[in-house]
Structure 1
Amino acid sequence: MATPLTYTLLVNGPAYGTQSARNAYLFAQALIAKGHTLVSVFFYQEGVHNGSALTLPANDEFDLVKAWQALSLEHHVRLETCVAASLRRGVIGDQEAQQHHLKQTSLAKGFDQSGLGSLAEALLTQDRVVQF
């Protein structure tokens, strides 16, 4: 095999309604299986819905949020949702809930909220950034 590469994925599609996020997940599995390193997944625009703790698919449907969480745990992948895009769409983490005096959060366990600076850093430091 050629030299392993480091990757960050940029996911713009929601967990359900389009194939974008599912394709990103399948791509993540494939690149890890080939020996590459997935450093992080940055969820932006509608993609922040992948980090919602309030997603409840039917019993016979693939649970993409849980799949991202498992991938993160198993392979030490950072899952980051854009904080500004998340706030606009009701995906709220602990820090933002405190800052805005909200009583509840909706960010799924294992996901963090960060700014676009995190994505910019990935663009500068990873071998590849792939957008879905």
Structure 2
Amino acid sequence: MNYTILVTGPAYGTQNASTAFLFCNALIQTKNKICSVFFYGDGVYNANNMTTPASDEFNLIHAWQELKKKYQVKLYVCNSSALRRGIVKNEKYFDRPYKIGNLAIFFQLSGLLELANSIKLSDRIIQF
């Protein structure tokens, strides 16, 4: 089956994002396909490169990046949600230059159209 995963919970503070990550791993192990993981609302905090967990905590941002590197899972971040929460690329937004953005590598800013396209290709959408 083909899945789209919608993550609306932040990387830390709730179990939404970590449960979504574990679910993605289970899908991969059972030979299902993940069309994309879309981070929306507070879920965009999963793409904040400046998040630094304690040394004895699981680094969820790094884990998402490894998922992308190892299995080519697309990691889309809602552009509007990201801007509202201060997550930007190394570009100009609204005539404000950001020389160093905080969008983590392997995460891609996109719009809701990308989510809609992913849902269209999927058999199931699961929200965390």
Output the TM-score relative to the length of structure 2: 0.94
**How far apart, CA to CA, are the structure 1 residues paired with 2:54 and 2:2?**
34
State which of 22, 25, 31 in structure 1 corresponds to 2:21: 25
CA drift of 1:39 comes to 2.1
- Aligned partner of 1:46 in structure 2 is 42
**Equivalence for 1:92:** 88
What's the counterpart of residue 6 of structure 1? 2
Give the fraction of aligned pairs with identical amino acids, expressed as a percent. 45
Aligned length: 128
What code does the residue aligned with 2:121 have? T
Is the 8 Å Cα contact of residues 91 and 97 (structure 2) preserved in structure 1? no
The aligned amino acid for 1:122 is S
Counterpart in the other structure of 2:103: 107
Q: CA deviation digits over 1:65-114, x for unaligned, max 9? A: 00000011111001111000000001101345596322220000110000
Moved more, 26-35 or 89-98: 89-98
Cα RMSD (Å): 1.4
Question: Could you tell me whether the CA contact under 8 Å between 1:79 and 1:110 is conserved in 2?
Answer: yes
Answering whether residue 78 of structure 2 is matched by residue 82 of structure 1, we say yes
Structure-1 separation of matches of 2:34 and 2:43 = 18
Whole-angstrom distance in 2 between the partners of 1:103 and 1:57: 24
- How far apart are the structure 2 equivalents of 1:118 and 1:100? 25
Unaligned runs of at least 5 residues, structure 2:
none
